[in-house]
């Protein structure tokens, strides 16, 4: 039974085009039965220590969402546990066979099951069965294996699980920011028209009419503001008119009202009314009218997004909320006032994305790369376990109470650590390490001071650029920078010049690159856009008048010429301001060392820079050739990898030889295991998020520099990250403060 590549692609693509997860899963099993001419195909998905039947053709449909098989039990459980396929002519004779009465599968003898493996983990099992006593041939087996492989790549298999009625359901992700968050869900970027919306007719029509009308007005305003200006600029006036006509179409509006009068919510009413129009347009054999279905989709999506925003307005104002999205951005977090967020959950990204970094800086529990995120409903209460990288959906009242108590205990730990605020980070044998804070939002300034920061080790100047609607003016930047310098008056402030690109694109200055992390970033971008850099440098210099603690830090330096060009431009800006009568002092200038090519050029830094700050996130990424935001390889990103430790040690020793102050400002600075090694290297300073400061200070005060140096030498002789991790973990336990770092195991 030869199967063409086109058949395989068609099955996967058609499934991907289905509107709901249930439809996607069902299409897959139906298509497999049709191609193989077999009576049964089933899809099971792993949920913790069990497998759940999420779709079947040929078995009893009553088992969908109900039938659970323990891992390792039965044929399906054995496949999931071992990761190996089974192809059996007579399944009941196999010693692992386990009868599931509710599935009514007694008449099916031939059996083949194939594991669905994603990033090395079995996430599901795909099964085909026949009533003949025969093994499946090689071509049939190859087909099912290929489908299973494509499933693992093209779908988040966990999304096929329907969680309605499941209490304390756990979604796994990556620990990104520690702590426990509890609160109701608010979705961001939730304009997808076909997301599941509550279909139950249990709403008050008058309230929903008001919600719809408000959302309709906001959608019209969106069209006028965005498409109107676009049309005027590019001679596309008809575009705004077409969208406006759809938003005012009486037939569409009346259809929405009819669903609302039946008791449905406004979002569901818009969804249903627009689906009817879309289906009708797609059924017409006219390419132009078919294309108009996309217009209806986009317009209806706008209305649904505004409906949901209004529904959640009271929640946002009354309670700290959990922000959820497929791709939550740092700017989404920045849009909320201090204390408004109980947690952040994103289905994409890693613990080293800037979303996670901002969440950590603000002390907001965060989990990235969360599976089955579509199971999270708007408005429901969630538990965010930032320490372990887990999210608990539909928690029972008993579990909520337990986590409230855990959160209270964590708060007590921080209260006890607060006693260290005014103490120095000094090791048991008297070695002092300067502890600084990473910041970028004005709302982060106060937490750093409250936690005992001795200054700002990394001020991310791009944050004001990211949250603005256009490039900030010199005066706007000066006001922000001066406020930061005034808050830390008398303490050093290291301001990094604009560092966009990679996972930090500007919304009003977008450009596309095949490899953005290797592209137009940091000093490469600003030297190519000198008016932007000149404006920023003038703003920093003006802000520092009378506040002589400014240090300017240059990111992504890979060549000595870049430092020389930067310093020339800086001096030009300073002289310009002096000529206007301003008393501008020469700030100290340093670099972030994150490009490996600079390590071998460090001798040339003598006399050129006043300090070096190791940007451990990018340096690790480039040394290991690992994109830290790519979920397929993010697990390979490791600050205690032997190569990373060796290169960081090499940098520190060279800086000491040259007499250049050396610090670390990436996530390595707050990773407790890495901190032990950095102490052994005799690092001068560490800069981290405010809420990590007390724990790291406590760790430093529990260690001796001499002991840390011995551990470093032992680590340098290890050949694997796992061996180094275990060595450092034992040292952390011996220090007696491992209870502060629960996520390390």
3-state secondary structure of 174: strand
Dihedrals φ, ψ of 69, to 5°?
-120, 120
DSSP structural state of residue 74: H
Give CA–CA dist 227/124, Å, rounded: 44
Alpha-carbon span 610 to 177, nearest angstrom: 32
Residue 313 buriedness (CB in 10 A; 0-12 / 13-18 / 19+): exposed
Which of 701, 699, 651 shows the shortest CA–CA distance to 674?
699
| Cβ burial, residue 381 (10 Å; 0-12/13-18/19+) | middle
CA distance 171 to 375: 9
Q: Which residues of 590-617 are buried (b: 16+ CB within 10 A; e: fewer)?
A: bbbbbbeebeeebeebeeebbbbbbbbb
* Cα dihedral sign, 244-249-250-252: negative
Give the integer Cα–Cα distance in Å for 3 and 24.
21
What is the spatial distance between Cα 260 and Cα 256, in angstroms, rounded to a whole number?
6
Could you confirm whether 37 is annotated as catalytic? no
How far, CA to CA in Å, does 10 sit from each of 38, 160, 580?
Answer: 19, 19, 69
The residue ranges of DSSP E strands in 401-473, in sequence order, are 434-439, 456-460
Triad 603, 608, 611: Cα angle to 5°: 85
Query: Of these residues, 307, 573, 665, 698, which one is catalytic?
Result: 665
- How far is 640 from 722, CA to CA, in rounded Å? 9
Burial class of 423 by CB neighbour count within 10 A (0 to 12, 13 to 18, 19+): exposed
What HEC string does 534-573 produce? HHHHHHHHHHCCCCCCEEEEECCCCCHHHHHHHHHHHHHH
Q: Which of 592, 652, 645 shows the shortest CA–CA distance to 620?
A: 645
Q: Looking at 264, 354, 394, 639, which residue is catalytic?
A: 354
Residue 143 has which token pair?
A: 């087909």
Q: What is the rounded distance in angstroms from the CA atom of residue 171 to the CA atom of residue 368?
A: 11
Q: What is the dihedral of CA 249, 250, 253, 259, to 10 degrees?
A: -140
The two tokens of residue 462 are 């791009």
- Distance CA(391)–CA(174), nearest Å, equals 10
Q: First and final CA of the chain: distance in angstroms?
A: 50
* Residue 307 is a catalytic residue: no
Quick count: other Cβ atoms within 10 Å of Cβ 238?
Answer: 9
Which helix (H) or strand (E) segment holds residue 297: the answer is helix 287-311
| Residues taking part in catalysis | 354, 665
């Amino acid at each position: 039974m030869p199967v063409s590549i086109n058949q395989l692609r068609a099955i996967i693509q058609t499934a991907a085009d289905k509107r709901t997860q249930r439809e996607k899963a069902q299409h897959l099993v139906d298509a497999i039965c049709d191609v193989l001419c077999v009576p049964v195909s089933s899809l099971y998905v792993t949920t913790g220590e069990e497998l759940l039947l999420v779709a079947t053709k040929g078995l009893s449909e009553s088992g969908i969402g109900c039938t659970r098989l323990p891992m390792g039990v039965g044929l399906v459980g054995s496949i999931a546990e071992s990761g190996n396929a089974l192809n059996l002519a007579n399944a009941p004779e196999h010693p692992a066979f386990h009868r599931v009465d509710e599935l009514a599968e007694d008449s099916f003898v031939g059996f083949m099951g194939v594991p669905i493996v994603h990033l090395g983990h079995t996430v599901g099992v795909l099964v085909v069965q026949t009533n003949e006593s025969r093994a499946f041939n090689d071509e049939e087996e190859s087909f099912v294996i290929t489908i299973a492989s494509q499933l693992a790549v093209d779908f988040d298999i966990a999304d096929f699980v329907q969680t309605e009625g499941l209490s304390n359901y756990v979604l796994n992700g990556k620990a990104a920011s520690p702590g426990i968050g509890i609160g109701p869900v608010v979705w961001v970027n939730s304009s997808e028209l076909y997301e599941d919306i509550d279909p139950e007719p249990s709403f008050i029509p008058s309230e929903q009419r008001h919600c719809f009308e408000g959302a309709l007005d906001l959608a019209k305003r969106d069209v006028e503001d965005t498409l109107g200006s676009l049309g005027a600029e590019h001679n596309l006036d008809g575009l705004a008119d077409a969208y406006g006509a759809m938003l005012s179409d009486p037939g569409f509006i009346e259809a929405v009202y009819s669903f609302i009068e039946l008791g449905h919510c406004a979002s569901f009413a818009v969804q249903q009314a627009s689906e009817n129009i879309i289906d009708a347009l797609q059924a017409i054999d006219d390419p132009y009218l078919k294309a108009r279905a996309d217009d209806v989709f986009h317009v209806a999506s706008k209305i649904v997004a505004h409906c949901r925003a209004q529904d959640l307005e009271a929640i946002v104002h009354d309670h700290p909320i959990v922000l959820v999205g497929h791709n939550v951005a740092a700017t989404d977090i920045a849009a909320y006032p201090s204390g408004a967020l109980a947690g952040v959950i994103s289905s994409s990204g890693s613990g080293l994305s800037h979303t996670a970094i901002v969440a950590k800086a603000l002390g907001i529990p965060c989990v990235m790369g969360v599976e089955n995120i579509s199971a999270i409903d708007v408005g429901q209460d969630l538990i965010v376990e930032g320490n372990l990288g887990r999210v608990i959906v539909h928690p029972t009242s008993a579990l909520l109470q337990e986590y409230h108590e855990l959160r209270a205990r964590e708060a007590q730990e921080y209260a006890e650590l607060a006693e260290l605020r005014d103490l120095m980070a000094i090791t048991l044998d008297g070695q002092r390490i300067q502890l600084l804070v990473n910041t970028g939002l004005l709302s982060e300034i106060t937490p750093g001071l409250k936690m005992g920061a001795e200054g700002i080790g990394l001020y991310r100047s791009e944050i004001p650029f990211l949250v603005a609607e256009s490039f900030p003016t010199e005066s706007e930047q000066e006001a922000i920078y001066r406020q930061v310098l005034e808050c830390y008056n008398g303490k050093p402030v290291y301001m990094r010049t604009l560092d966009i690109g990679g996972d930090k694109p500007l919304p009003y200055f977008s450009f596309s690159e095949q490899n953005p992390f290797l592209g137009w970033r940091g000093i490469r971008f600003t030297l190519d856009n000198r008016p932007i850099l000149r404006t920023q440098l003038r703003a920093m210099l003006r802000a520092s008048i009378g506040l002589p603690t400014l240090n300017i830090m240059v990111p992504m330096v890979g060549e000595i010429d870049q430092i020389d060009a930067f310093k020339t431009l800086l001096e030009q800006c300073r002289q310009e301001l002096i000529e206007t009568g301003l008393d501008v002092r020469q700030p100290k200038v340093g670099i972030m060392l994150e490009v490996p090519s600079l390590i071998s050029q460090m001798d040339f830094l003598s006399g050129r820079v006043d300090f070096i700050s190791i940007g451990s996130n990018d340096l690790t990424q480039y040394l290991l050739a690992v994109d830290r935001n790519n979920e397929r390889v993010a697990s390979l990103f490791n600050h205690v990898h032997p190569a990373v430790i060796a290169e960081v040690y090499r940098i520190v020793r060279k800086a000491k030889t040259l007499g250049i102050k050396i610090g670390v400002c990436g996530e390595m600075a707050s990773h407790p295991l890495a901190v032990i090694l950095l102490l052994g290297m005799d690092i001068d300073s560490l800069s981290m998020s405010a809420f990590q400061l007390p724990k790291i200070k406590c760790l430093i005060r529990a260690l001796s520099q001499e002991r840390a140096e011995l551990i470093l030498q032992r680590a340098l002789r290890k050949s694997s990250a796992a061996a180094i991790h275990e060595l450092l973990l034992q040292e952390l336990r011996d220090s007696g403060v491992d209870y502060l770092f629960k996520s390390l195991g």
